[in-house]
Structure 1
């Protein structure tokens, strides 16, 4: 299927020797279940040429036993894209990474941070913070199968662990297995007593601890994640010394506010900031192609509701799409009508 071309097409890094993963990792959009699918990534790519985008977490078992194209397929126009995998069995992770080699991902990331009950029952995610030796085995197997960098997204600790003791040991053990880049969510995960949603907000942030790791492990690249809601904050953290910043919910709910000026402010590009109206317009051919292939409008537009967050007409934009996108036959005319709710207020 031809998914159309974004405003800022980016080719896989292996075809762009001037573009290195460390460059793109200066700002990334976090992997978020049920949110960062291929349609979400295509929309985000309209705003930023350089930001690194992540898949939702896909389990290694699903990749090995499922349908690779359905689980892993994406348009190169979304790139650069990193694949996040969940798992704790080195041999299964090895096979999953072998399968993923057929797709143009620029990075494969191991999830060592998710605290959900489903992930815990599979003995992976944040509970792996207790088993750095096993994580080291996992990433060694993944690196053997991968042609692209293997990275790790983790917490600063779980439950009663002391992050000041646990995090350095974890980075040392896993880094010795060949991982050079870590994305650290600067909160503990409480595996008992807090829901996944509460784990995103209640445990206190410890940015200083994560920053201290950049001085302790000179050879590692470290991205900071957790509670970052603006480019101003991202720039401040980069200025303090982390090599990258990962933003999650703010980038999803307010993509223009986070991504529209990111190429200029974070990556130093000599390009104009992207208008949300132009990003929406660039999605229309993509939407047409998807609908022609039998897709439903809501599948894409549910990721676009925050396009005009904070602007006049934003509520009408959201209402028009929310109420109409699930109707049979809904198409790009509805998106254009919703867009008119915003542009008419600009003209006024």
Structure 2
């Protein structure tokens, strides 16, 4: 299996529950990543990931030379399949290799890729959400993103790259922070959810759950069923929609604070598709108060900057970055094994 060299092209993909973002990338001699082409595909419009990738490859003039792909996907890779309840179809690695005639195929968790990608962001590609603290001390970085689900990963720097720990933080049990959130938890349990996880409230569908729960608690008939509609109604001053969005922002702060403490994070990046739609509500909400309101850890969390990623190509940049580091580590292992073999064979 040949490692990529400067000028080599390969496909990097970022597959979420709603959209798949596919790119053709090339590496420079200095390790920089160039995105040569990029497209977004609505997942629900295609019968599977193979159809999306085949269309992308067919539309590219250099398609005959594309036989290497790295895919950042929501979920967990188990044997040959990606396991994720938010994807509209299954992903089989064997089928992708066969149908697309691939020499090389890798799958990495989407938020592990996002964590790799944060190191490729320019300063202008993220917005500070904590104006009182902008500078981060060197150390671990937390990447979190509410979208179709809730993803998170931890990025730990080291001398020769990074170590990234993907998580399933969205599946952790929801922890209410006040009486209203306790009532929301009870509402979800009445709907048959024995395990109420964080992403049932902190995601696109989670915002809808918050709105519907608050409608019932306020004795109002729900009339909205999409995150964009709820955020738009909140901007128009609709009371329950506004309460739902502000509650979402408070929960985001609370969860970021919890995960930042767990990871000993010195910096946080927020990605995903939901927060950019409601970022203007954050200063009006309890986002910051809930983020730092962790008892004795307040003084630590008050020094953690939080930045909102504003580059939609984060996932594909991260997938490509993961692949380059993976290949570099493989070469180092092969070199070390060769030296050991030579030493063992020496008289």
Q: TM-score per shorter chain, which class?
A: under 0.3
In the superposition, the TM-score normalised over structure 1's length comes to 0.27
- Larger C-alpha radius of gyration, 1 or 2? 2
* Larger strand percent: 2
TM-score by length of 2: 0.27
Higher RCO, 1 or 2 (CA under 8 Å, sep at least 6)? 2
